[in-house]
Amino acid sequence: MNMEKTAEVYSEIAKVIAAHESFIIMSHVRPDGDAIGSQLALGFSLKAMGKTVYLVNEDGVPESLEFMKGSEVVTQPPSEPVDADVAIAVDTATKPRLGENSLVAAGKAKVWINIDHHISNPCYGDVNLIDGTKPATGQILYELIKALEMPIPEETRDAIYVAVSTDTGSFQYGSTTAETYEMGADLIRQGLDVGKINADTYDNHPYRRLELMRALLNTLDISADGQLAHWELLHQTQVDLKLQPDDSEGLIDLIRGVRGVRVAVFFEELDGGKIRVSMRSKDKGVNVCEVALQFGGGGHALAAGIRMPGPMVEAKAKVLAALGESMAGGN
Ligand code: 5GP
Ligand code: MN
């Protein structure tokens, strides 16, 4: 989005905020740090303006993010629509990824705002602030909140940091920009405790996560040329180890980190038999979002995902074949 277009969308959002009192803010199912962080960041800023804000997530706040200030106000959707005039979706590439119950909860909204950094987002809002060049939705929100001179209470400050830190692999990925670091500096000047927030985010795992790692390592497989590595998690293993959905968050980075690997894939069998596929590319020549789109998924060029029918062996065969083709073509 160019600067003029961004300024135009900012002013549309400012008008919607000024003209309404009640908001429901949602994000995608199986929320990550950028999803919950973006909800909290915008939610607490609007609350500080005196607005009524409902923070709803289909799956609630994962245990690993419960440390976030204010996260207790994010609830699973009630069965009835809430009294909110404006629905805001953050970090969510497609409307159905908000979840069926969240969509019911937002049923009374007259205006939809869609704020996201997924290039595959089809702009399903009445107002759409979509910027695929930003490393996290949290950074889009930081820039919006600054531009509109909205308040930045502690919850918003910390949530922005967690959102951007988790979506950039701790400010490491190529999507990280000078603006990202400038934002970090600004948040620290505003009182953010870097040591504590990073310890809470990254050094606070349940023991079962290591047991999960051990189980995954037992399924590790790599193509003959050493470029395509993958592992799988069966539903039975999740039951045996009493896993929570977010226990596997970020583990795919272990196989992506192997020298020579261009693409890493994580196959997970969900309750009910569907397969969740998580893909990471280390090679700009291999766009995993394009592969995801072939199977109804989406995401970013270097990090994308799919929910597809099982059984595991078939899903694996199809996705690995498509990836093999994409890697051979170098497209
Ligand atoms: P992850 O592998 O961490 O679950 O997701 C990587 C990226 O792909 C995220 O940006 C996420 O939003 C996107 N993504 C993951 N799963 C799906 C999916 O089933 N559908 C779509 N459209 N995007 C997905
Ligand atoms: Mn994100």
Indicate if 162 and 184 belong to the same structural domain.
Answer: yes
Host domain of residue 36: 3-202
Indicate if 195 and 218 belong to the same structural domain.
Answer: no
Query: Is the per-residue pLDDT at 211 higher than 60?
Result: yes
Indicate if 147 and 216 belong to the same structural domain.
Answer: no
Indicate if 238 and 150 belong to the same structural domain.
Answer: no
Cα of 18 from ligand 1 centre, angstroms: 33
- Spatial contact of 68 and 201, defined as CB atoms under 8 Å apart: no
Amino acid sitting at position 76:
Q
Indicate if 84 and 223 belong to the same structural domain.
Answer: no
Indicate if 189 and 243 belong to the same structural domain.
Answer: no
Of 154, 174, 202, the domain-final residue: 202
Cα of 303 from ligand 1 centre, angstroms: 7
What CATH number does residue 67 fall under?
3.90.1640.10
| For the chain, percent of residues with pLDDT exceeding 90 | 96
Indicate if 150 and 262 belong to the same structural domain.
Answer: no
Smallest CA-to-CA distance from 217 within 207, 229, 226 is with 229
Cα of 305 from ligand 1 centre, angstroms: 4
Indicate if 136 and 45 belong to the same structural domain.
Answer: yes
Of 202, 231, 255, the domain-final residue: 202
Mutate-to-test residue for ligand 1 from 29, 57, 118, highest number of ligand atoms within 8 A of CB: 118
Amino acid sitting at position 159:
A
Indicate if 100 and 165 belong to the same structural domain.
Answer: yes
Query: Which residue has the least CA distance to atom 24 on ligand 1?
Result: 305
- Copy the structure tokens of residue 227: 């470029």
Domain total of the chain: 2
Distance CA 205, CA 24 (A): 31
Give the pLDDT score at 331: 45
| Tens digit of each residue's pLDDT (9 = 90 or more) over 68-100 | 999 999 999 999 999 999 999 999 999 999 999
* Separate counts of helices (H) and strands (E) for the chain: 12, 12
Query: Which residue has the least CA distance to atom 23 on ligand 1?
Result: 298
Smallest CA-to-CA distance from 108 within 125, 87, 124, 94 is with 87
Taking the model in full, what pTM does it have? Answer: 0.92
Indicate if 22 and 135 belong to the same structural domain.
Answer: yes
Pocket of ligand 1 (CB under 6 A): 93-94, 97, 118, 278, 297-300, 303-307
Indicate if 169 and 27 belong to the same structural domain.
Answer: yes
Cα of 167 from ligand 2 centre, angstroms: 6
- Spatial contact of 323 and 291, defined as CB atoms under 8 Å apart: yes
Indicate if 193 and 213 belong to the same structural domain.
Answer: no
Mutate-to-test residue for ligand 1 from 175, 307, 308, highest number of ligand atoms within 8 A of CB: 307
Of 202, 230, 252, the domain-final residue: 202
| Tens digit of each residue's pLDDT (9 = 90 or more) over 235-287 | 999 999 999 989 999 999 999 999 999 999 999 999 999 999 999 999 999 99
Cα of 224 from ligand 2 centre, angstroms: 33
Query: Which residue has the least CA distance to atom 10 on ligand 1?
Result: 299
User: What atom in ligand 1 is closest to the CA of residue 120?
Assistant: 22
Burial call 32-43: b when 16+ CB within 10 Å, e when fewer: bbbbbbbbbbbb
